[in-house]
C-alpha cells in the first residue's frame, strides 16, 4: 500500500512537470493506474520470490503483462476522450 502511494505521488509530480496544461484529473487517474500496476507487479514478484519461483522468465512475463494492461487501458481511455470530444 505504501509502495502504491509513493509510486502514484511520484507519477503525479512527474506528469505535472511534463504536462502542466493537462487536467489534474487525467494526471491523477493515469498516475494511480500505473502506480497500481507497478505495486501489483512488485507484490507478485516478492510473493513468488518467497515461494522460490522467481526467475528471469517470470520477471519478464510479469513486466510484459503490466505493459500490455497499461497499453489496453491507455487505448481505452483515449477512445473515451475522443468520444466525449465529439459530443
User: Is 27:16 a contact under the CB 8 Å cutoff?
Assistant: yes
pLDDT above 90 (res 66): yes
User: Mean pLDDT over residues 59-79, rounded?
Assistant: 89
Please write the tens of the pLDDT for every residue from 43-55: 999 999 999 999 9
Return the residue matching grid coordinates 514478484: 45
Q: Using an 8 Å Cβ cutoff, are 27 and 12 in contact?
A: yes
Distance CA 52, CA 46 (A): 10
Q: Could you read off the pLDDT of 15-36 as tens digits, one per residue? A: 889 988 888 888 898 899 999 9
- Is the Cα torsion angle 51, 53, 56, 58 positive or negative in sign? negative
Listed in sequence order, the residues at least 6 apart from 63 whose beta carbon sits closer than 8 Å to its beta carbon are 41
Residue 73 vs residue 85, higher pLDDT: 73
Amino acid at each position: 500500500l505504501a509502495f502504491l502511494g509513493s509510486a502514484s505521488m511520484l507519477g503525479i509530480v512527474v506528469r505535472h512537470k511534463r504536462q502542466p496544461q493537462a487536467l489534474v484529473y487525467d494526471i491523477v487517474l493515469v498516475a494511480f493506474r500505473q502506480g497500481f500496476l507497478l505495486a501489483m507487479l512488485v507484490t507478485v514478484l516478492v510473493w513468488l520470490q518467497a515461494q522460490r519461483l522467481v526467475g528471469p522468465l517470470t520477471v519478464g512475463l510479469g513486466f510484459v503483462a503490466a505493459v500490455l494492461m497499461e497499453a489496453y487501458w491507455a487505448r481505452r481511455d483515449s477512445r473515451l476522450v475522443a468520444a466525449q470530444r465529439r459530443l
